Structure 1
Amino acid sequence: MNQIEFFKNRIESTFSPMDYMQASKQNPDEYVLLDVRNGPPHLKKEKINGAVEIPQVELENHLSEIPKEKIIVLYCWDVWCNTAAKAALILLENGYKVKELSGGIAAWKTMNFPTTLLTSPNLPTEQCEC
């Protein structure tokens, strides 16, 4: 694969937070935003508004809950996490259309896009399970 093909594939396979916001506003019924972060609940203090939560380690048990006719947009913790990529492979191998949200929830929050609080912010913190 040459560099042009690499970057074309990258663009086709990912959404930046801004691109996803624009696309989902234009065609809200075309996408399902899926939070595939693994880890205990006290680490997941918030999620992106409207996201469905299915941890990557449980994904294969929940395939019937995910619509095949929509584009599934996956996110995990941040640019260092490959959990969304692992989830993408599972979904692609099962016939789904998939994109990854670049930078995960960390990039989303950097853009000050809306999130939903999931747990008390006073709970102890630990490293994520990427």
Structure 2
Amino acid sequence: MNDKKIELLQTYLSLYIDHTAVLADMDKETSQYVVLDVRNAPAQVKQDQIKGAVAMPAKDLAAHLDDLDKSKTYVVYDWTAGTTLGKAALLTLLSAGFDAYELASALEGWKGMHLPIETI
């Protein structure tokens, strides 16, 4: 029984990427990661985002897959780690053959650690 639990946890954890990997990549001239803000809200509600993120609401993501570069790795985030938009966006990307992760800390954790954000 423990083997199944371990396997499930390993799979679950493999869906996430830590903020340190994203931060280390941000300053590179050619970034491996593209950060997607998948929150379904207008800019005036969002007010800010992770520095350099691309706004791609989860509800619109499937319609814009052809606009994405399959050579990149996508990192999606939502308001908090407990919400489902990031997971839905991750499912859309992985199902379409993209390399992708959900940001483990989501926006709430990113801002809580005082990491780079920008006003929208």
Under a length normalisation based on structure 1, what TM-score does the superposition of the two structures give?
A: 0.80
2:30 and 2:78 mapped to 1: Cα distance? 21
Task: Say which SS state the counterpart of residue 116 (structure 1) adopts.
Answer: strand
Unaligned runs of 5+ in 2: none
Any gaps of 5 or more consecutive residues in structure 1?
119-130
Q: Write the distance in 2 (CA, Å) between the matches of 1:92 and 1:103.
A: 20
- How many angstroms does 1:10 deviate by? 2.9
| Alignment of structure 1 residues 57-68 onto 2, 5 Å | 57-68=59-70
Please tell me whether the aligned partners of residues 33 and 74 of structure 2 are also in contact (alpha carbons under 8 angstroms): yes
Size of the aligned set, in residue pairs, is 118
The change in CA–CA distance for 1:32 and 1:47 in structure 2 (over 3 A counts) is same
Instruction: Measure how far apart 1:79 and its partner are.
Output: 2.0
Q: Residue 109 of structure 1 is aligned with which of 108, 111, 116?
A: 111
Q: TM-score if structure 2 supplies the norm length?
A: 0.86
After superposition, where does 1:63-78 map in structure 2 within 5 Å? 63-78=65-80
Q: Which runs of 4+ in 1 moved over 6 A?
A: none
Residue identity in the other structure for 2:103: L
1:124 counterpart residue number? none
